[in-house]
Amino acid sequence: MSETKGSETLGFQTEVRQLLHLMIHSLYSNKEIFLRELISNASDAADKLRFEALASPDLIKDDSDLKIRVEYDAKKKLLSVVDNGIGMSRDELIDNLGTIAKSGTSEFLQKMTGDSKKDSQLIGQFGVGFYSAFVVADKVEVDSRRAGLDQEQAVHWESDGQGEFTVGKSDYAERGTRVTLHLKKAEKEFAEAVRLESLIRKYSDHIGFPVELADATKADEKPHAVNSATALWTRSRTEVSDDEYREFYRYLSHDFTDPLAWSHNKVEGKREYTSLLYIPASAPFDLWNRETPRGLKLYVQRVFIMDQADQFLPLYLRFVKGVIDANDLPLNVSRELLQKDARLTSLQSALTKRVLDMIGKLSKDDDGKKYQTFWNEFGQVMKEGVIEDTANKDKLAGLLRFATSSSDGQLQDQSLADYVSRAADKYDKIYYVIADSYATAKSSPHLERLAAKGIEVILLYDRIDPWVMDALIEFDGRKFEDISRGNLELPESAAEEGKKIDPEAHKALVEKIAKELEDKVETVSVSQRLVSSPACLVANEQDLTPQLRRMLEASGQSLPPSKPTLEVNIEHPLVLRLEAEKDAVRFTALSHILLDHALLAEGGQLEDPADYVKRINQLILDLQPGVAAE
């Protein structure tokens, strides 16, 4: 750090330096959006001043006409974005422009791929629009005076984006902020009136403040407003084009891609409010950080209140972007935080229903292609809703998508309604199996008898699935049935009458195996569900599923001991050999191998892999006459 004549030179935070380098290279193909980002920042500054002025009217009394001005000087290749909003103090300028005080920065940088198209989308999600100025400028200057501070406290910031920035005093007399770009030689088009007017109309027409365009070399020429200066959500739906809705989404979210869907709605009567809600096409990089601030942009009677009001939608809908403008909401003394009351609860219920209806409609549009995109991005957070939102559980169940034993590949594209329609009157339950992966679920021994009967099974392998199925009891009058539980009941056809295996006929065998494995299994029984596998493990009705138990244990939780039931396929050659085995040592070895194979088939881990290997080696050697194990 160096200091000269009231100014000091500071280094950018490491993450900012990395981000600047990535941004300059990733956004080059879409560089014109820098103007949208700077005007968006100016609009936010005006919104914040208007909000603070509610409590401190003196902040705005000398200049209440809030606006944004874009100035250009073609000869000098200069472009400035000027606002008379809240402004920044010295500390705020350093914090806002020298560091990224945002959780998930490291995760964001790790997700950068080097693919400029993908990386530009990530950058947009991260919302660091100011730095996009360096895509077109080789130097950026910022002059700012915060509302309520004297002119002597105005501050100047400048940088070439290479690693350092300088902060010092400024003679800037106005309230607000001026951002000045020294354009690169190749970017002189951004100092031309026609080009700038086109960009303002394209990207910022919906900004709720006038955006004026002015030639800096013509001081006598009055600036003219380019945009309509009407907040988009206040207009009638019939007056807003799809392109305008899409552009407002980009402004709101900093995303560079189009949203999948949106819903614009005005409610009148007892609860008067306007909402404009969007479903993004891709998940934000920090979707799984449930602590990340997120929510809707809140206005009360057109006055901006907060950026991330999270009280209006449940956490599982945290990916939704949008604006709510209410006529009356309970604010606390600071007019910043919402107080919990019936009005807020009613609004949350209504907005949640609107989002779910929008998602439901999406599932019926475009032959389901858009919905498949949505499910791939947000399916697992929607499953959180089944657990957390009991009031909407039935509606959410209808929006879930799964892979099934009849699916071609692991694509989760089957709804419960699809499943029920195929089951028709052939069977009256919804059968499912939970595993650690799609491959394990698809090849689970528990599927064998059901496959032989033509019964479709839902394959579950997401980490959240055990909790989801605990929450789901039935759908469309049909109960869910876990086929890995010991009490499985399957419909019987007339051809199968009398084909059942009599467990009593093999009582001596199962008792003998049970004694060998008494430390590892609760009991051994003759299976009615296996066809080609020799054995499988089944959980007792009140036990945790093996997958859930493994997850909880891996997270450090201490669980009471539990032993599964081992079911054996009495018609399998390995079990027949076991039944005929007279050698006690080999019987013990084969019994343990039977259990180990059943455990491996469900994705479990062996307690003693070395012991298993010894048994297999001995079994192989026993098959070769004259060869003895050492």
DSSP, residue by residue, 482-498:
ETTBTT------GGGTT
Q: What is the pLDDT of residue 217?
A: 94
Same structural domain for residues 508 and 485?
Answer: no
Same structural domain for residues 418 and 540?
Answer: no
Query: Cα(390)–Cα(458) distance, rounded to whole angstroms?
Result: 22
> In CATH, what number is assigned to the domain containing residue 415?
3.40.50.11260
583 in any annotated domain: yes
Q: Read off the tokens for 274.
A: 């306007």
Least confident of 359-363, 451-455, 560-564: 560-564
Query: Cα(312)–Cα(349) distance, rounded to whole angstroms?
Result: 8
Same structural domain for residues 595 and 533?
Answer: yes
> In CATH, what number is assigned to the domain containing residue 201?
3.30.565.10
99 in any annotated domain: yes
Q: Which residue has the higher pLDDT, 460 or 425?
A: 460
382 in any annotated domain: no
Same structural domain for residues 225 and 242?
Answer: no
516 in any annotated domain: yes
Same structural domain for residues 178 and 218?
Answer: yes
Q: What tens digit of pLDDT does each residue of 391-402 get?
A: 999 999 999 999
510 in any annotated domain: yes
CB atoms within 10 A of CB 28: 12
pLDDT of 64 > 70? The answer is: yes
Work out the mean pLDDT of the chain and round it to a whole number.
85
> In CATH, what number is assigned to the domain containing residue 615?
1.20.120.790
Query: Cα(510)–Cα(288) distance, rounded to whole angstroms?
Result: 47
∠ CA 369-375-378 to the nearest 5 degrees? 140
Same structural domain for residues 117 and 220?
Answer: yes
pLDDT of 625 > 70? The answer is: no
Q: Name residue 481's amino acid.
A: E
Query: Cα(499)–Cα(497) distance, rounded to whole angstroms?
Result: 6
For 20, list phi and psi in degrees, rounded to 5: -60, -45
Same structural domain for residues 197 and 339?
Answer: no
Chain centroid to Cα 565, Å, comes to 38
pTM: 0.76
Query: Cα(488)–Cα(607) distance, rounded to whole angstroms?
Result: 28
Same structural domain for residues 308 and 451?
Answer: no
372 in any annotated domain: no
Q: Which of 200, 230, 260 is the last residue of a domain?
A: 230
Tokens 């036990």 locate to 543
Q: Which of 184, 212, 230 is the last residue of a domain?
A: 230
- Could you tell me where the DSSP H helices lie in 8-145? 14-26, 33-55, 90-98, 105-110, 116-126
Tokens 């500071």 locate to 10
Sign of CA dihedral 237, 239, 244, 250: negative
> What are the E-state strand segments in 97-190?
137-145, 155-159, 164-169, 176-183
Q: What is the pLDDT of residue 338?
A: 61
Least confident of 219-233, 438-452, 454-468: 219-233
Same structural domain for residues 488 and 614?
Answer: no
Query: Cα(118)–Cα(165) distance, rounded to whole angstroms?
Result: 29
Q: What is the pLDDT of residue 114?
A: 55
548 three-class SS: helix
Q: What is the pLDDT of residue 475?
A: 95
445 in any annotated domain: yes
Percent of the chain with pLDDT over 90: 55
Same structural domain for residues 44 and 113?
Answer: yes
Percent of the chain with pLDDT over 70: 87
Same structural domain for residues 40 and 147?
Answer: yes
> In CATH, what number is assigned to the domain containing residue 302?
3.30.230.80
Strand-pair category, 7-11 with 2-4: antiparallel
Q: What is the pLDDT of residue 382?
A: 96
Q: Are 180 and 80 in contact (CB under 8 A)?
A: yes
Q: What tens digit of pLDDT does each residue of 462-512 get?
A: 999 999 999 999 999 999 999 998 878 888 764 455 556 777 788 999 999
629 in any annotated domain: no
Q: Which of 346, 367, 388 is the last residue of a domain?
A: 367
Q: Domain range holding 476?
A: 401-492
Q: Name residue 593's amino acid.
A: I
Q: Are 245 and 262 in contact (CB under 8 A)?
A: yes
Q: Which residues contact 497 (CB under 8 A, 6 or more apart)?
A: none
Same structural domain for residues 264 and 122?
Answer: no
Report the domain count for the chain: 4
Tokens 């606002």 locate to 83
Q: What tens digit of pLDDT does each residue of 39-62 get?
A: 988 998 999 999 899 889 999 988
Q: What tens digit of pLDDT does each residue of 567-606 get?
A: 999 999 999 999 999 999 999 999 999 999 999 998 888 9
> Mind giving me the DSSP string for 587-627?
HHHHHHHHHHHHHHHTT---S-HHHHHHHHHHHHHHTSTT-
